Amino acid sequence: MEQIDLKVGDIVEVKKQHPCGSKQWKITRVGVDFKMECVGCGHTIMIERPKALKMIKKVIN
C-alpha cells in the first residue's frame, strides 16, 4: 500500500461522503488515531489510523 504523508491542517478527500454532502475532511490530530473535522458541517470524529488511511482517497492540500 502506498504511504501517505499526512500532517495537521491537511484537507483530504474520502471515498464516501458525509451525510451533510461533503467529501472533504480537515486533519486536526495525527498519531495512533486521527482526529478529523468535516469541512462541510464541522462535525469532528476520532478514527483509528488503519481505518482512516483506508478511507482517504487523496490529499487536497
pLDDT digits (tens, 9 = 90+) for 1-53: 467 789 999 999 999 999 999 999 999 999 999 999 999 999 999 999 999 99
pTM confidence score: 0.88
For 1, 30, 31, 50, the CA distances from 19, given in Å and listed in that order, are 28, 24, 26, 22
In the chain, what are the domain boundaries? 11-59
CB–CB of 19/38 below 8 Å? no
